[in-house]
């Protein structure tokens, strides 16, 4: 009899101010709330056969600690580092210490915005990026990451 493979585990990390989604700069980020994004990812996780754990923090250190805790616990990370995308060597280093695949997502197309948003310190640590599709960036990112894990 074939042995059933263990469900891959994915940590979804939401950076600062993403707790305000739905009310924050809706012209840029859309009207979906963080709670609805988390629910949609959990539903999609069931379809894709992956286990989802979601984490949001406004604090750089807490995000670093969550990524450290994922070592040996989670198989992949889906992350929107929000403003820390452009500044955080600490989050980059934490991601470098994680051995599984990482997918970076953004609601907005950071390349169409202010110049300081064009650079991502996480870009080359990630397998790939999905950006510019609003809440759908997360959905596409989760599908991509689940695919990477399935073929690993």
Q: Which residues bind ligand DQA (CB under 6 A)?
A: 17, 80, 82-83, 85, 106-108, 110, 117
Q: What span, in angstroms and rounded, lies between the C-alpha atoms of 110 and 5?
A: 37
Find the shortest distance in angstroms from Cβ 117 to ligand DQA.
4
CB-wise, 80 or 88, nearer to ligand DQA? 80
Do the beta carbons of residue 66 and residue 13 sit within 8 Å? yes
Is 106 a catalytic site residue?
A: yes
Cβ-based nearer residue to ligand DQA, 48 or 105: 105
Contact 29, 98 (CB under 8 A): no
**Contact call for residues 103 and 74 (beta carbons, < 8 A):** no
Smallest distance, Å, CB 119 to ligand DQA? 10
Nearer to ligand DQA by Cβ, of 92 and 106: the residue is 106
CA–CA gap between residue 92 and residue 65 (Å, rounded):
12
CB-wise, 31 or 150, nearer to ligand DQA? 31
- As measured in angstroms, the least distance from the Cβ of 81 to ligand DQA is 7
Cα–Cα distance, 92 to 81 (Å, whole number) = 10
Closest to 97 measured CA to CA, from 116, 74, 81, 120: 74
Say if CB 134 and CB 32 are below 8 A apart: yes
Q: How far is the CB of 76 from ligand DQA (least distance, A)?
A: 19
Per the residue annotation, which of 29, 84, 86, 138 is the catalytic one? Answer: 29
Q: Catalytic residue among 14, 84, 106, 138, which?
A: 106
Instruction: Tell me which residues are annotated as active site.
Output: 29, 106
């Amino acid at each position: 009899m074939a042995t059933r493979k263990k469900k891959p585990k994915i940590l979804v990390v939401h950076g600062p101010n993403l707790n305000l989604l739905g009310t924050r700069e809706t012209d840029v980020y859309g009207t979906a709330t963080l709670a609805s994004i988390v629910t949609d990812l959990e539903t999609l996780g069931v379809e894709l056969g992956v286990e989802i754990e979601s984490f949001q923090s406004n604090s750089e250190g807490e995000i670093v600690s969550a990524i450290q805790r994922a070592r040996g616990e989670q198989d992949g990370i889906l992350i929107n580092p929000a403003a820390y995308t452009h500044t955080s060597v600490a989050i980059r280093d934490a991601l470098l210490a994680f051995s599984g695949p990482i997918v970076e997502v953004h609601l907005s197309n950071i390349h169409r915005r202010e110049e300081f948003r064009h650079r991502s310190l996480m870009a080359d640590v990630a397998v790939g990026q999905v950006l510019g599709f609003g809440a759908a960036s997360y959905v596409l990112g989760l599908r991509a990451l689940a695919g990477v894990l399935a073929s690993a």
